[in-house]
Structure 1
Amino acid sequence: MPNRAVVRALNPMLVTYLEASRDLCETDSILFGAAVAVCRIIGAKLPMAGRSTTQSSAILAWRKRIEDRIAKARALIGRLTSFRSVNNRPRIMRTVRMAFAGTNISLYQPDITQKLTERIKDLMQKIAAWGKWIRRFSERSRRFNKNRLFQSNQKRLYKSLERPKVCGAGQGPDQADIIAFWRGLCSEPVNHSEALWMEVVASQGASVTPMDHITITPEDVAEAIRRAPNWKSPGLDGLHHYWLKGYIVCHAVLARQFREALDQKSLPSLFTTGITHLDS
């Protein structure tokens, strides 16, 4: 987590830039730049693929290490099996020597075949133990997620249990075709059905009292941000709520620019455009 002291130290420096900000887009860019500056100061890693977020399947670090061990052990078993089948290529010999490094076993002793068999069995037992560890954790995580989903949304849980799992073995759709499909769908002009009931609703709405003018204060901005999650997936701007909470000098500027946006009845695209994830 970024150092709060560094975030507080940058607050006075942002005043000059925020006072010169003309709209919400400029304020967003200033805050994003300040967030990047803090990450660089504390040495945090930054994504290099742009500011927008992408959906990815995160793998736990310890699980990745175990999977790497399994892959290396399987590769070593293959080399040892090749050497046992009288394959004396230099690369195979070098790998076998490294496998028996630190032991008193020579590659030219009479019982080397037995030693190779024992070593291969030992590696296979380790692979089985590591795989069982991962499967046990996956099963526990699956049960935990189902129990939590049962407490929060039983309907969704039952639907997930009834829905058959389809594994796509073939090639997925082309990216250009997907983009063309959704672009054509979203670009299609809207033809509303001018039904009679719409006129009735419009006439009923004429008697509704217009809403009073909204006054947004810095306290309103601070209160709205206070309830927001710190690191939940951001929008197109890539700015998390944590930075809006830390840079308190931006609250007054945001309140003023929100009022101006409401008066002008216009919002920048980063407030009205979302991110769509296509899950095959």
Structure 2
Amino acid sequence: MLVTYLEASRDLCETDSILFGAALAVYRIIGAKLPMAGRATQQGSAIPAWRKRIEDRIAKARALIGRLTSFRSGNIRPRVVRTVRMAFAGTNISLSQPDITQKLTERIDDLKQKIAAWGKRIRRFNERSRRFNQNRLFQSDQKRLYKSLERPEVCGAGPGPDQADTVAFWRGLWSEPVNHSEGPWMEVVASQSASVTPMDPVTVTPEDVAEAKPITNTQVYKKCTYSTSLFGI
């Protein structure tokens, strides 16, 4: 039967439809399960399980901080009191003891520190993932990487600077003389250096250069080591 339909097909689209119908019929005859549309290309969640667990812990810790803060402010509703008792379960802390306010503050601070540590772990994971993806994209498609690094709110925002203003700005920095006041410390340095004998000027002639021997890397290293030892470096 399939040969008859294929011989009667007139174009590639009709042939493709015939083959698809035949494959669908075979699937139904053998009782195989057909894949749903889009299921084959659907990717799993990119969020790891440990991150979901940490996010759940952060959400629960924030909710508990809210209940503890509400109880510390004077809210004694049954639900709040029950949550506070569960927070101190397994300890010798009672809600009727005099220093319960201090214990509540310590518990709240402890939860805040845990939330900060969990959040820092997630931020380290996000930063590492971002660097890994950028390095992999740099090896495969550098143009796409540089495109992703652009900041649209900065790049090309507003008109460019005026040429006359730019020239006037840099000309004011480099072309116009300015008298600077160095302060009294320059006079102190000058008085301290007055007794220093200036070095005689050294004139290097072409003959001196021609007579000089080439210096090896080992000699340069020894001279640098000797000079640094003189200055105590």
- Normalising by structure 2, we get a TM-score of 0.51
- Count of equivalent residues: 133
Take 1:142 and 1:34, find their aligned partners in 2: how far apart are those partners? Answer: 42
Take 1:165 and 1:56, find their aligned partners in 2: how far apart are those partners? Answer: 33
Which protein is bigger by CA-based radius of gyration?
2
Cα distance, 1:35 vs. partner? 5.5
Residues 107 and 139 of structure 1, relative CA distance in 2, 3 Å threshold: same
AA matched with 2:123? R
The corresponding residue for 1:97 is 85
**For 2:58, what is the secondary structure of its paired residue?**
helix
Cα distance, 1:164 vs. partner? 2.5
**For 1:68, what is the secondary structure of its paired residue?**
helix
The corresponding residue for 2:95 is 107
The corresponding residue for 2:60 is 72
Q: Does 1:86 align with 2:74?
A: yes
Take 2:79 and 2:54, find their aligned partners in 1: how far apart are those partners? Answer: 25
> What is the percentage of aligned positions where both structures have the same residue?
76
Q: CA RMSD in A?
A: 2.9
Residues 96 and 25 of structure 1, relative CA distance in 2, 3 Å threshold: farther
Take 1:165 and 1:146, find their aligned partners in 2: how far apart are those partners? Answer: 21
Q: Does 1:62 align with 2:50?
A: yes
Q: Point out where structure 2 has 5 or more consecutive residues left out of the alignment.
A: 1-17, 155-233
Take 1:94 and 1:106, find their aligned partners in 2: how far apart are those partners? Answer: 12
Cα distance, 1:70 vs. partner? 0.2
Q: Point out where structure 1 has 5 or more consecutive residues left out of the alignment.
A: 1-21, 37-45, 167-280
Identify the match of residue 20 of structure 2 among 20, 24, 48.
Answer: 24
Cα distance, 1:58 vs. partner? 3.4
Take 1:131 and 1:25, find their aligned partners in 2: how far apart are those partners? Answer: 53
Q: Does 1:138 align with 2:126?
A: yes
Per-residue CA shift, 1:153-204, capped at 9, x if unaligned? Answer: 11111111125279xxxxxxxxxxxxxxxxxxxxxxxxxxxxxxxxxxxxxx
AA matched with 1:112? I
Cα distance, 1:83 vs. partner? 0.4
Q: Does 1:51 align with 2:37?
A: yes
Take 1:165 and 1:145, find their aligned partners in 2: how far apart are those partners? Answer: 23
The corresponding residue for 1:34 is 32
Take 1:26 and 1:91, find their aligned partners in 2: how far apart are those partners? Answer: 63
Take 2:101 and 2:110, find their aligned partners in 1: how far apart are those partners? Answer: 14
Cα distance, 1:52 vs. partner? 2.2
Residues 150 and 165 of structure 1, relative CA distance in 2, 3 Å threshold: farther
The corresponding residue for 2:142 is 154
Take 2:60 and 2:22, find their aligned partners in 1: how far apart are those partners? Answer: 50
**For 1:23, what is the secondary structure of its paired residue?**
helix
**For 1:34, what is the secondary structure of its paired residue?**
coil
Residues 28 and 144 of structure 1, relative CA distance in 2, 3 Å threshold: farther
Cα distance, 1:51 vs. partner? 3.0
AA matched with 2:77? R
How is 1:1-280 mapped onto 2 (pairs within 5 angstroms)? 23-27=19-23, 30=27, 34=32, 51-53=37-39, 58-164=46-152
- Higher RCO (C-alpha 8 Å, min separation 6): 1
Residues 25 and 113 of structure 1, relative CA distance in 2, 3 Å threshold: farther
Take 2:50 and 2:128, find their aligned partners in 1: how far apart are those partners? Answer: 16
